[in-house]
Structure formats: structure tokens, C-alpha cells
Amino acid sequence: MSSETGPDENVSDENLPKEQGPAHGEVARKDDPFADPGLPPHEHRIQDVDEQAAKRSERTVAFIFTLSMLATIGFIASFVAFPIDKIIYVWPLGHIGALNLALGLTLGVALFCIGAGAVHWARTLMSDEEMVDERHAITAEPEVREKVISDFKQGAKESALGRRKLIRNTMFGAVALVPLSGVVLLRDLGPLPEDKLRHTAWKKGKLLVNENTNQPLRPEDIAVGSLTFARPEGLEHHDEDFQTEIAKAALMIVRLEPGDIKDKRELDWSHEGIVAFSKICTHVGCPVSLYEQQTHHVLCPCHQSTFDLADGARVLFGPAGHPLPQLNISVNKDGYLEAQGDFDEPVGPAFWERG
């Protein structure tokens, strides 16, 4: 792409507009009907010629500033007077905290009036005569440029950086290597992934605990058409790693008519039509939670991925890339639902090592 930097025979000054700046600015050319007539004469405002009007403006500005002072006093008074939990009804805002409203409005008025006063002052009383500043070229004069370039060359020569290659190369090496220490220091930001994303708190024999009642679930607790959320037995809310474990183990249980289940494996892993799927969306990990009992569809409220729970949680619509993992369940000898093992694939969003 030499054409980007080097001189280009195809682009000459002819392609650029001929006149720029001066040609338009010169009033001298009377024969040019489009010539710049120059700045129009300044028109006086009423405040410039009528002292009465100027006085009125002064009083207006002073009045606005005074309003600001009053508003600040109002702010302090509100802070002291309104209890923090007082709720009032204000049309059309509805029920709203009195303190927040009072503080915000008084502060708003106090600030706004300072601005309004200053702007009104500037518009009515400060000179509005337009003034002209000449621009300076950003590019340096050629002499300056020459001087800088030769100074730099002199400095570079005196450093002998170009001549003493051994110094230069070892210095580059040292400077290039030293940031590695910083990179190494970042290593302990977190553990290696290993197979952490492949395992959840589910194990063979773990009971399915109802997330709402905290009781182990029996098949008869789950009605056709209902949606129940469960977690593995032994995982309690106050556990230190509860959030991290529930982020993988959260379970969604529904009861279907066994005849409605189209997927053979889903049927094998169900109990009397009760199926358990991971609640964590396989797209980017939101909890899937909107269940439509007529169609057995379940929808993720974040990005609308839709899964068919009667057909192996196949993706029907939306950005999810694969079905929700199913948990193999059955009933133990005491009549409680239990897991037959962990999920046989990673739950949640896909990742490179998922395979």
C-alpha cells in the first residue's frame, strides 16, 4: 500500500477543491456574487442601549440566584425534617419516598438556578459582540522541523545506540522480558479450569430437595404440569460455596405424561413421567424458568432460548446451541426421588474443552 503514504501520481492538487479559506474570505473580489461579505455589523440588544432594561435583567439574575439560595436552605431543612422511611403520594409519580423527592428537587432547583442565572447574565448583560481569533497552523514551520530533526539525530548519535549494537540488543531483550514478571504475577488470580466445569454437586443417591420447602421430594409431590426447582441434598444456603455450587447444580423438575415423552433416553432417565433437567441455560447460563405446561416448552427469559422438555430438551428456538442436560433420577426405597449420578455432560454454557 505504498499509495497510502508515498506520493501518488493519480491524486494531484487538481482533485482537491481549488480554493480554500482565503479565496472565500477575501471581500475584495466585488465581482464574485458569492464572496464573503464579512462579519455583519453588531446589533445592539435592548440591554445595551436601555439602562432600565439592563437593570431589569440584573434584578432577574439576582432573583434566580436568590431562588438557588432558598432551595439550598430547603435542602437542609428537608434533610432534617423528613424521616427517611416516609412514603408520600405525588401525582403523577405515585408513591415515592418523601426525603428523596424533597432532597432531589431542592438540590435540583439550587443547582439549576445557578446555571440559569449565569446563562441569563451572559446572554443579556455580557457583551455579545462577536470577536475574531486567527488560527495558527498546527504543523510546525520548516525551520522548526529541521531543528527538531537534527537535534534528534544529534541526540541519537551521541547515545551511540545505532553503533553499539550489543547494548541496543541486550537492552531490548531486557525491556521485552521484564513485563513477563507482571504476567506471571497474574497467575494466581484463579485456579486452572481442569475438569471443574464437568462436575456438579449431584452424586448417586443424592436426594432431590425442593428449593422452596427445603424438603426432599417424593414423586407424589409433583403434579402434572407443575414446575419444581430442586437442589442436591446437603447443599445449604449458608454454605460458603453455595452460590458457586447452585450455579451448576440447579435443577428443574416437571411431570409429563410418560406417553408424551418422545426421546427414548429421556424416558429411561425419568420416573413415572417425572424428568429432571439442568436449570442453567446452555447458551450463556441464565436460569431457564418460564414453563408452558401445554406444550412442555421452557423458555429462558434472558435470551429467549426455547427447549422442548418432552423431547430431550431439544432447542426449538433462540441462540442456545445444545439441549439442557438431563439428570438420571429414580426413587429410593423410602419413596424419595434420588439422583442416579452426576450429569453426564457439563451444564451451562458451552466452552472449548466441552467436546
Partner 1 sequence: MSTATEARGSAAAEGKKKAPAGERVADWADGRLGIYSLAKANMRKIFPDHWSFMLGEVALYSFIIIILTGVYLTLFFHPSMNEVEYHGAYTPMHGIQMSEAYASTLDISFDVRGGLLVRQIHHWAALIFLAAMFVHMMRVFFTGAFRKPREVNWVFGFLLFVLGMFTGFTGYSLPDDLLSGTGVRFMEGAILSVPIVGTYLSMFLFGGEFPGDDFVARFYSIHILLLPGIMLGLLVAHLILVFYHKHTQFAGAGRKNTNVVGMPLLPVYMAKAGGFFFLVFGVIAAISAMFTINPIWALGPYRPDQVSTNAQPDWYMGFSEGLIRVMPGWEINLWGHTLVLGVFIPLVIFPLVLVAIALYPFIESWVTKDKREHHIADRPRNAPTRTAFGAAWIAWYFVLLVGGGNDLWATHFNLSINAITWFVRVAFFVAPVVVFVITRRVCMGLQRKDREKVLHGRETGTIKRLPHGEFVEVHEPLSQEQLHTLTAHEQYRPVEVGAATDENGVRRKVSRGQKLRSRLSKGYFGESGQIPKPTQEEYREIESSHGHH
Binding to partner 1 in span 221-240, by CB under 8 A: 229, 231, 237-238, 240
Give me the least distance between CB of 154 and partner 1, in Å please.
28
Q: Can you say whether the dihedral through the CA atoms of 336, 340, 252, 262 is positive or negative?
A: negative
Give me the least distance between CB of 113 and partner 1, in Å please.
7
Burial of 293 per CB tally in 10 Å (0-12, 13-18, 19+): middle
Q: Does 292 bind partner 1 (CB under 8 A)?
A: no
Give me the least distance between CB of 89 and partner 1, in Å please.
13
Give me the least distance between CB of 57 and partner 1, in Å please.
13
Cell of 328: 438420571
Is-contact 24 36, C-beta < 8 A? yes
Which of 62, 69, 73, 122: binder of partner 1 (CB under 8 A)? 122
Which of 47, 210, 228, 305: binder of partner 1 (CB under 8 A)? 305
Among all chains, which residue has been given the C-alpha cell 434420588? 338
Is-contact 324 199, C-beta < 8 A? no
For partner 1, the closer of residues 213 and 244 by Cβ is: 244
For partner 1, the closer of residues 248 and 271 by Cβ is: 248
| Rounded-to-integer distance, Cα 265 and Cα 272, Å | 14
φ and ψ of 65, to 5 deg: -65, -35
Say whether the peptide bond before residue 92 is cis (omega within 30 degrees of 0): yes
DSSP symbol at 166: H
Q: Does 34 bind partner 1 (CB under 8 A)?
A: yes
Q: How far is CA 273 from CA 95, 180, 232, 255, 259, in A?
A: 47, 57, 20, 5, 8
Is-contact 318 283, C-beta < 8 A? yes
Which of 57, 74, 113, 228: binder of partner 1 (CB under 8 A)? 113
Cell of 192: 486452572
For partner 1, the closer of residues 118 and 224 by Cβ is: 118
Query: Contact region for partner 1 (CB under 8 A) — 167-175, 185-193, 254-262, 265-273?
Result: 185-193
Interacting positions 138-167 with partner 1 (CB under 8 A): 138-139
Q: Does 93 bind partner 1 (CB under 8 A)?
A: yes
Which of 42, 55, 59, 196: binder of partner 1 (CB under 8 A)? 196
Interacting positions 242-271 with partner 1 (CB under 8 A): 242-244, 246-248, 250
Which of 53, 54, 67, 197: binder of partner 1 (CB under 8 A)? 197
